[in-house]
Amino acid sequence: MLGRLNHIAIAVPDLEKATAIYRDMLGATVSDLQPLPEHGVTVVFVDVGNTKVELLEPLGDSSPIATFLEKNPAGGMHHVCHEVDDIVSARDRLRAAGARVLGDGEPRIGAHGKPVLFLHPKDFCGTLLELEQA
């Protein structure tokens, strides 16, 4: 069911500073800032060749990333995103196996313009998983 690793997401308290670290210190290609108000974040993607690193900053006080950063003020790994061929089929299969889909369970459009879902970290070895339609 799982396809390739699409990205690893890192929550950061200062997106411009984090972008500069990846771009200037590490020499990576970094995308433009992309606000995603429906997800409560602003993101950039760092191209690392075989996958991407997504840097996330809270967009507003009600952002789930704001809560994460309260517990982890310096930032840290937030989630791992895998591609799936059919997100609705994957969701249904995972639910039938006992996995919890976060939110209302319906796919929403993510940063790449494709449907995404998040799966409860307690069901996946303490890691928040994002599924993205390939």
- CATH number, position 63: 3.10.180.10
Q: pLDDT-based confidence at 36, cuts 50/70/90?
A: very high
In this prediction the pTM is 0.93
Do 119 and 91 form a contact (C-beta atoms < 8 A)? no
Q: Which of 54, 57, 83, 130 is catalytic?
A: 130
Instruction: Work out the percent of the chain whose per-residue pLDDT is above 90.
Output: 96
pLDDT at 79 over 90: yes
User: Is 130 noted as a catalytic residue in this protein?
Assistant: yes
Count of structural domains, the chain: 1
Do 59 and 92 form a contact (C-beta atoms < 8 A)? no
Q: pLDDT-based confidence at 60, cuts 50/70/90?
A: confident
**Half-sphere exposure for 101 (CA within 13 Å, toward CB):** 19
Distances (CA, A) of 132 to 23, 51, 84, 106, 108: 26, 14, 6, 12, 10
Instruction: Work out the percent of the chain whose per-residue pLDDT is above 70.
Output: 100
Rounded average pLDDT over 98-102: 98
Q: What is the pLDDT of residue 61?
A: 82
What is the domain range of residue 120?
2-133
